[in-house]
Amino acid sequence: MSVKCGASGQKFNPAALKKIRWIKNHYPNIRIILDGGINAGNIAEAKNAGANTFVVGNYIYNAADRKEAVEQLRRVSRF
């Protein structure tokens, strides 16, 4: 939803936020799992749009300090 299917490491497409809001408005009880381009700079916005669960691969995998990367995601998204 937030990247084209295929190669990992793609940038998050903000157009996905509109799709998430639409889904949440029409199906408020649905669980939305978002995969693709998620990082500390966009996870809070995606959560606020209505996504519930996030697949965060490259952001953590490529971080110099993976534990700190996870903590940063928690801080900015308030998980």
> And the tokens for 73?
């995601």
Is 9 inside a domain boundary?
A: no
- Split into its structural domains, the chain has a count of 1
Indicate whether 54 belongs to any domain: yes
Residue 71 maps to a domain: yes
What integer is the mean pLDDT of 19-30? 96
Structural domain includes residue 6: no
Structural domain contains residue 5? no
C-alpha to C-alpha distance for 32 and 53, rounded to whole angstroms: 6
pLDDT in tens, 40-51: 999 999 999 999
User: Does the CA dihedral 75-31-48-17 come out positive or negative?
Assistant: positive
Q: For residue 4, is it within any domain?
A: no
pLDDT level of residue 78 (50, 70, 90 thresholds): confident
What residue numbers bound the domain in which 57 lies? Answer: 15-77
Inside any domain, residue 7: no
Among candidate residues 9, 7, 36, the one with its CA nearest the CA of residue 17: 36
